[in-house]
Each structure stands twice: as C-alpha cells, then as structure tokens.
C-alpha cells in the first residue's frame, strides 16, 4: 500500500498547495490567506514587480519540494520491494 499512498499524497498535496481558485472563492475577505492567495497581491499592488513575485514563488516552492522528495523515496522503495518479491 505504501507506494500508492505516496502517489496519492504527492498528487493531492501538489494540487492543493498550488490551488488558487477554491481558496479565492471560499476564503476571500477573511484573514486566512493561503500562500497562492497572498501572492495574488503582486499583480495589483505593485503593477509588475516580478522580482518580489518570483522571490515569493521560490519561497513557497520549498515546502512542497521537500514533501515531494520524501514521498518519492517511498514510491521508489515500493518498486524495489516488488521487484525483490
């Protein structure tokens, strides 16, 4: 079950982490901004300040990258187990 759990976790986490639409519709106006929602500010507040926006994108990339690397190891482990059995 481990490789499948890891696959599902990666797919779901990636989709949820990067999603803008659902938080935008549901959370708009509350003070519970998610990261993509906070990053929308760069488009209006500063015109086109790509420097700040890209710095922010890089920062928000780190946690999901770590999560992906951890899960990817599980997927590879599962493949190896199956081959040995």
Partner 1 sequence: MIERKTNWPAMILLILGLSTIIFPLYLTVVIAFKQPSEMTNSISGILSLPKVWSFDNFREAMRVTDFWHSLGNSLLITLVTVGLSLAIHSLMGYALGRNKAKSKFYSFVYLFIVSGMFVPFAILMMPLAKQTAELGLANWVGVILLYVVFYMPMNVLLYSGYLVNIPMALRKRQRWTGLPPGLHTGKSFSLL
Binding site for partner 1 (CB under 8 A): 1, 4-5, 7-9, 11-13, 15-17, 19, 21-23, 25-27, 30, 32-39, 41-42, 45, 49-60, 63-64
Query: Which of 26, 69 has the CB closer to partner 1?
Result: 26
CA neighbor of 66 nearest in space, from 9, 22, 19: 9
Q: How far is the CB of 45 from partner 1 (least distance, A)?
A: 7
To partner 1, the closest distance from the beta carbon of 27 in angstroms equals 6
Task: Give the whole-angstrom CA distance, residue 21 versus residue 34.
Answer: 11
Residue length, the chain?
85
Is the separation of the CB atoms in 75 and 7 below 8 Å?
Answer: yes
């Amino acid at each position: 079950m481990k490789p499948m759990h890891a696959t599902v976790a990666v797919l779901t986490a990636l989709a949820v982490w990067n999603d803008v639409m659902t938080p935008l519709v549901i959370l708009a106006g509350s003070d519970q901004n998610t990261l993509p929602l906070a990053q929308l500010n760069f488009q209006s507040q500063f015109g086109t300040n790509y420097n700040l926006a890209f710095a922010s994108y890089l920062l928000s990339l780190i946690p999901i990258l770590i999560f992906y690397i951890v899960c990817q190891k599980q997927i590879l482990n599962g493949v190896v187990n199956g081959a040995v059995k």
